[in-house]
Amino acid sequence: MLSSLIINILACLTSLVWVVSPLRMVRRSQSLRTYQRKLTPISMTDVRQDGVAMGYRSIPRGDDLAVIQQTIVANGLRQNLGDMTVEHSFTLSGGPTDRIVGQSPAIMALRTQIRHLAAFDAVGNPYAPTLLLQGETGTGKGLVARVVHDSGPRANGPFIEVNCAAIPDTMLEAELFGFEPGAFTDAKRSKLGLFEAASGGTLFLDEIDALPLGLQSKLLNVLEAKRIRRLGAVVDRPVDVKLIAATNADLSRSVSMGRFRADLYHRLAVVLLRLPPLRERGDDCLVLAHHLLRRYAEIHGLHPKRLSRPAEAWIRSHSWPGNVRELSHLIERVTLLSPETILDPQTLGRLCLPRPEPSPVAMCEPHNSEPQPLDEASKIRQAITQAEGNVVRAARLLGLSRGALRYRMQRYSIAHPRRRKRPRLQETPPEEHSWPVAALAGGVESEIISLSEGGQSTLSQGESRPEARWDYRPVAVLAISVTFPAAEESERPRHDLRAVTAVWERRIVEKATDFGGILLQRSPALLLVAFGSPRTLESLPDRAVQAALAIRHVVAEAAATDLREPSPEVRLAVHMGTVLVDIRPAEPTTPMLSVGETLTLPIHLLGHAAPMDLLLSSQIGRLVENWYILEERALPLLAGGQDQYKAYAVVELRSHLAS
């Protein structure tokens, strides 16, 4: 009788505490590192059999959150422990796979596959399987590649990411395989290729579909033989690399159209992981939204916002064409720009970027038919004509990267066109405006900068350009200096600054664009972004400053968390000024003329900024001083001059806004 009573009492205790038996499961998997709910794990090994006999199931080994959650629900303990989901306070952080947030069956299966495959990536294993990631833009292919690397035995080795479309075709072979002195004109000394630099670790080739056909055969040989030959060399060198490739294109279709080698496709797809779009992941959009609201609030030192029930319904109903990337950018934008604590659908809709319209080239493409190579060449010529010879804009029209378009132009023998010169502002009839151009530009003839939203032009061949209608528009201009500190001699072979710079420039431009910015200028070590033209935006000064702070945080976070890859030194400056904009409604390609120092003053401020500094002109400082703690700085207007200009450095967000 006494023993039966003791068994019943101990069984009742299982409804109040989490019973983990045996305890060595925790030590083995290290699954539970955060106990935000104060639970006391106790060992009940002696009554485990009695608990099973009464209908309770033991919690399995491992760190799969979904399996643990299902077991607790089956034991009837959910009401006491609360929801063990990502959007609530009780979280698991047992390994790299926990960085893939979501509870849909596809995501749980993906995490399971990654943990299973990690065992086969041992350093020195010549048969480490290659991995092909397929998914739409924004589904997290880069994150999954990094998680695969961090989950296996190669986690302590280098992880090198290469965007095949961001490096010119003529340089890609030298970047991947390296070269010897004299291999080409500027080859003064030998250089390590990215395959050799990634030896003992992982090489991630993003946008693998942009790889030229000639280079595809060399990549296949490397994968088969595990040896590379530098340009200009006569001997092969062994490499020990885990290769991960990613694409948002249908490679099987590319193979059937002759744009991708079939043998390389089959070699890459030894293991094929498909990343589902966000619209197919059920309530994962809400799980991610709650997770991102907490994450961005912590990053920017703000009080976390919450979603109302209608806002949750809005998130569920949105199609998310940009997938997780679009949701992440929206949540960060809402965190920074919305004053509400509880978010409603109107706020989300107002801050959500408008959906891009389909391009004329895409709309004229016939449905349910396989395009032939000749048709593709015609479309390329048509897009180049519409873009007035601008290859970047033509690539946007076609939905291709610049590198992919150049490859197709070479394949179809399409010559690089010469861009037509834009008519000078003086050609506009005098009665259109009564002000002299020289007076507006400070006495110097200014260059007309062309902004493109969506990258499409409505002018057909032979059609005359409508007459310009010029108007003044306020803009906030963000200047960003991106440089890398000089590397030690021992570190130089491990990193290719050209590839790393391309990756960082893409990240920075993407972050600025997410706040409504338009890239005006891209030059070595300098990016210039405008807010408010050609489309008028609310809170221009705050948008520009928040974009600058977000960029600075991304760089600082990378420098603190990833010590194996070089991080840039960024200097940022924001200025508020005026530009002249052609406001013709039928022409989305908008010429813009700088008035005064609108574009030059922020660049001048960069010369006085230290790494990670964010300087504001006096015009911007007066507008945002109630939101941020600013430090006044007196800067010389000219080198060696006596006149000074008052600028401000952003210290932090004011406490009453951060709480």
- pLDDT value for 256: 84
Least confident of 1-15, 57-71, 141-155, 510-524: 57-71
φ, ψ at 143 (rounded to 5°): -65, -45
Rounded CA-CA distance 8/20 in Å is 18
Residue pLDDT, tens place only, 71-117: 554 444 333 333 333 333 333 445 899 999 999 999 999 999 999 99
| Other C-beta atoms lying within 10 Å of the C-beta of residue 40 | 8
Residue pLDDT, tens place only, 18-32: 433 333 333 333 333
Q: What is the dihedral of CA 149, 153, 157, 162, to 10 degrees?
A: -20
Rounded CA-CA distance 90/36 in Å is 6
| Torsion over CA: 81, 85, 90, 96 (sign) | positive
Rounded CA-CA distance 54/52 in Å is 5
Partners of 475 in the beta sheet?
Answer: 577
Element (H, E) at 650: strand 644-653
CATH fold of 291-351 reads: Helicase, Ruva Protein; domain 3 (1.10.8)
| Other C-beta atoms lying within 10 Å of the C-beta of residue 120 | 14
Give the homologous superfamily in CATH for domain 105-274: P-loop containing nucleotide triphosphate hydrolases (3.40.50.300)
Query: What number is the average pLDDT over the span 531-560?
Result: 82
Output the six-digit token pair for 659: 């709480």
Residue pLDDT, tens place only, 250-295: 898 888 888 899 999 999 988 999 999 999 999 999 999 999 999 9
Work out the pLDDT band at 37, boundaries 50, 70, 90: very low
Provide CATH code, domain 468-658: 3.30.70.1230
Rounded CA-CA distance 595/589 in Å is 19
Residue found by looking up tokens 């995490």 in the block:
111
Residue 107's contacts (CB-CB under 8 Å, 6 or more residues apart) are: 100, 101, 276, 281, 284
| Torsion over CA: 599, 604, 610, 611 (sign) | positive
Q: Quick one: DSSP state of residue 453?
A: S
Answer whether residue 652 shows pLDDT above 50: yes
Work out the pLDDT band at 239, boundaries 50, 70, 90: very high
Sheet with strand 159-163: strands edge to edge: 159-163, 202-206, 242-247, 131-134, 271-274
Element (H, E) at 244: strand 242-247
Answer whether residue 323 shows pLDDT above 50: yes
Query: What number is the average pLDDT over the span 637-643?
Result: 54
Answer whether residue 492 shows pLDDT above 70: no
- pLDDT value for 104: 94
292 and 140 Cβ atoms separated by less than 8 Å: no
